[in-house]
């Protein structure tokens, strides 16, 4: 348990710092919507969930949703850490990892736009937050998976972690006690030596 906690908390704090970067970057970009420098390049650009050009005020909606989804995952992850139910965290965070990768790709696009230094710097802060969040969340998924996989398999299989019954060549071999003598004969394979 100590190894899991030692690997978990630094990654958790890295993910929290990435959320702060992502939040500050997208807030700074949204604040710049009223200037004419931001409007022109963004009006011709599309982003995830927008297939056509959109106004600057609507451009960042999807990024805001991803940012607050990351915050919710941070809260839930802290609760799971307190209860030591880490394995249940993986289902909710895998889609977030995909969304964060897509966000990083979207803000990587800003490097190629003809925009001034302030707007480009704000987009790079958002990009840095998304990339750091991807790395931290991916590492958390690996750490949690490594330490909890044996317990998860054991819980699904009913205790030991080993499959019930015998297998031969990957095919389940029920015993006579499980199926009866007549049915066991239909599954007859050569005996192991």
Q: DSSP per residue over 104-144, as a string?
A: HHHHHGGGGS---HHHHHHHHHHHHHHHHHHHHHHHHHHHH
pLDDT at position 33: 76
Q: Model confidence at 107, in pLDDT bands (50, 70, 90)?
A: confident
Q: How far is CA 63 from CA 8, 24, 54, in A?
A: 26, 12, 14
pLDDT at position 64: 92
Torsion of CA 147, 152, 153, 159, to 10 degrees: 110
Q: What is the pLDDT of residues 18-64, one digit of tens each?
A: 999 999 999 998 887 776 555 555 554 555 455 566 777 777 888 89
Q: How far is CA 113 from CA 12, 38, 65, 150, in A?
A: 33, 11, 24, 48
Contacts of residue 17, Cβ cutoff 8 Å, sequence gap at least 6: 132
**End-to-end CA, the chain:** 40
Give CA 43 to chain center in angstroms.
30
Segment 96-104 mean pLDDT: 91
Tokens standing for residue 48:
């995830």
Residue 160, pLDDT above cutoff 60: no
Is the separation of the CB atoms in 107 and 126 below 8 Å? Answer: yes
Q: What is the pLDDT of residues 117-153, one digit of tens each?
A: 788 888 899 999 999 999 999 998 888 777 666 665 6
pLDDT at position 132: 97
Q: Does the CA dihedral 126-127-130-133 come out positive or negative?
A: negative
**Alpha helix locations (H) across the chain?**
2-31, 36-43, 56-59, 61-83, 90-108, 117-157, 176-179, 181-186
């Amino acid at each position: 348990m100590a190894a899991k906690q030692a690997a978990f908390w630094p990654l958790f704090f890295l993910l929290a710092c990435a959320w702060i970067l992502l939040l500050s970057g997208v807030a700074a970009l949204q604040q710049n919507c009223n200037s004419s420098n931001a409007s022109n390049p963004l009006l011709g650009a599309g982003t995830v969930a927008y297939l056509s050009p959109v106004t600057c005020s609507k451009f960042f909606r999807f990024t805001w949703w991803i940012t607050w989804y990351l915050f919710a995952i941070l809260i839930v992850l802290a609760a799971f850490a307190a209860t030591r139910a880490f394995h249940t965290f993986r289902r909710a965070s895998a889609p977030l990892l995909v969304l964060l990768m897509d966000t990083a790709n979207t803000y990587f696009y800003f490097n190629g736009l003809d925009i001034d230094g302030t707007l480009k710097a704000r987009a790079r802060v958002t990009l840095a937050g998304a990339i750091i969040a991807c790395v931290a969340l991916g590492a958390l998924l690996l750490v949690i998976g490594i330490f909890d996989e044996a317990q998860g398999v054991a819980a699904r299989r009913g205790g030991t972690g080993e499959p019930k019954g015998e297998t031969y060549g990957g095919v389940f071999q029920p015993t006579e006690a499980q199926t009866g003598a007549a049915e066991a004969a239909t599954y007859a394979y050569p005996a192991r030596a």
